[in-house]
Amino acid sequence: MMKLSMQAMAGITLWIAQLSPDAIAKERIPFQGANAYLNPGYSEQIDKSLAIETDASLYAKMESLKQVPTTIWLESLESIVGNKTRMSLEDHLVEAARQQEALATDGKIKPMTVQVAIYNLPDRDCSALASNGKLKADEGGLEIYKREFIDVIADHFADPRFANLRIVAIIEPDSLPNMVTNLSMAPCQKVNQDKTYESGIQYALQTLSQLPNMYLYLDIAHSGWLGWDTNLGPAVTYYSQFLSEVAGDRFPLIDGFISNVSGYTPVEEEFLPDSRFAINYQQIRSADFYEWNLIFDERDFASELKKEFVKAGFPESTQFLIDTSRNGWGGPNRPLKNEGPYATPNEHVDALRIDKRPHRGSWCNADGAGIGARPQVLPYGEDDAVTAFIWGKPPGESDGTSDSSQTGPDYEGKQFDPMCSPTYVTGAGNPTGAMDDAPSAGTWFPRQFKMLIENAYPPIEVK
C-alpha cells in the first residue's frame, strides 16, 4: 500500500472535527446533494471569445457557459503550481472552498464537487502525437510522476482546508485502452513491456484512494474504440485483472469508469436504436461507419460494460460517467426524425446517424460537432448504468494543432499529428474531418468554441 506524505497524513487526522455532517459519510455518487465548482480559468478563456463576438445571441450563450462546471486538467508538473496566466491547484481549491462557503444556507455548508483530470503519465498517448507530455520513462519519468506529481496532488487534496470538497478525479485518459488494442504500435509496445502505464496508475489509485474525499473514475475509451465484442471482452478482462492486482482486498478501489473523455461519440443514436436491424438481410452494423460494431453509442456502451464488469466481480454500484461536452451534434445536419428504411445499410446509417464524422476514429477537432448534454446526475434514473453526464474536455480547447510544420515537440511536449490535418486521408481511405487553423492541444480555439455553441444539442437556452 502506498503511503501519503507526513504532511498529508497529518492533515487527515484533523479532518473529522472539520467535516460537515454531510461529508462524514462518503456518498456513493458524489454529484448527489452537492454544488459544483465553477472554474474561473474557463471563464477567462470564454472571455477571449466574448471579446471578438458581435452576435448578441451567441454572446449570451457563451456567457451562460461560465455557469457550467468543467474539469481542471492536471497534465504537467507546471499545472500544479500555475503561472501568471493559469491558476495553481491550490488556487483552484481555495476558490472552490470560497464558492462553497458563499453558497451556504442558514450557516450550513453544502458539499461541492471539484472535477480534475489526472493526465501526466510518462510517454502518454502512445498511439498519437498531439497531446504527448514531457515525462519520459527512460529519463526517470515514472519516479517523477509518483513523487513530484501524484504525491504533490495528494498533499493538496489532503489539506484540512478542503475537507468538505468532493474531488472527482478522471484517471489518465487514453492510457489503459491503448494496452488493449494498440500493441501493434512501437511506442505502445514499449510502455506495455515496461509496464509504465500500469505502474503509474497503480500508484495514483493506491495513493489517492486513501483520501476520504476522493472519487476515482478510470478512463475506459468509448464505444467506437472498445465496443466490438473482440475488444470489449478483452478490455473487461484486462481492467478487472489490473484492478484486482492493484486493490487487493480493497477491490475494486475505484468508484467507476468514464467514457468518451474528450470524445465526440453521442450518448444515444436515437434514430438507430437497434444495431441488428436488417435491410435486405444485412444488419445495419455492417455499414462502413460502424464496421460491424454492435454498439453505436455511449449509453449502450455503459450498459454492456456494467453487465460484463458485474460478471467479473464488480459490485452493482459501479458507476459509469459520460463526457458530454462535445457530443451533441446539433445544427442543420442533424436528422430530425426516424425516416426510412433506406435502400442499403450505408444509406440508412448515413442518413440517420447523429454522429457526422467521416469515421468513428476521427478524434481531432471534429468539424460540425456541437456541445452535448449539460452535466446531470442520474439522467436516466437510479436503475440505468449511466450515473452522470459531466464535462471532461472544456468546450473550446483544441485537441491538437493542424500546423503540419510543428513536427517536433513544443515546450509542453506536444506536436502535429496527421489526424489533426483537414487534408490527411488515412490508409483506409478515411478523411479526418478535422478543423483547419487549429492551435496546439489545450489551447483556446475560438472558432471551434463558436461552432460548438451553434451546433449544441440540446440547444443552449439563455434564461
* Residue owning grid cell 508538473: 77
CA atoms of 202 and 206, how far apart (whole Å)? 6
The grid cell for 23 is 461529508
Distances (CA, A) of 404 to 93, 127, 128, 368, 444: 38, 18, 14, 22, 19
Where does residue 381 fall: left (phi above 0), alpha (psi -120 to 50 degrees), or beta otherwise?
A: left
Is 222 among the annotated ligand-binding positions?
yes
174 among known catalytic residues? yes
The grid cell for 331 is 445544427
Is 397 among the annotated ligand-binding positions?
yes
Contacts of 394 (CB under 8 A, 6+ apart): 39, 42, 45, 70, 71, 73, 325
CA atoms of 431 and 435, how far apart (whole Å)? 11
**Dihedral sign of CA atoms 308, 313, 315, 321 in order:** negative
Least Cα distance to 435 among 314, 326, 316, 290 occurs for 326
DSSP secondary structure, 101-133, as one string: HHT-BTTBPPPEEEEEEE---TT--TT-STT--
Contact status, residue 218 vs residue 171, Cβ threshold 8 Å: yes
CA atoms of 270 and 172, how far apart (whole Å)? 30
CA atoms of 415 and 126, how far apart (whole Å)? 13
399 among known catalytic residues? yes
CA atoms of 308 and 328, how far apart (whole Å)? 27
Is 225 among the annotated ligand-binding positions?
yes
379: DSSP letter: T
Question: Which of 123, 151, 159, 174 is the catalytic position?
Answer: 174
Contacts of 10 (CB under 8 A, 6+ apart): none
The grid cell for 159 is 489539506
Residues 419, 424, 427, 433, Cα dihedral to 10°: 60
Is 363 among the annotated ligand-binding positions?
yes
Question: Which of 159, 219, 300, 399 is the catalytic position?
Answer: 399
Catalytic residues: 174, 399
**Binding site: what residues are annotated?**
73, 222, 225, 280, 363, 393, 397
**Binding site for substrate: what residues are annotated?**
73, 222, 225, 280, 363, 393, 397
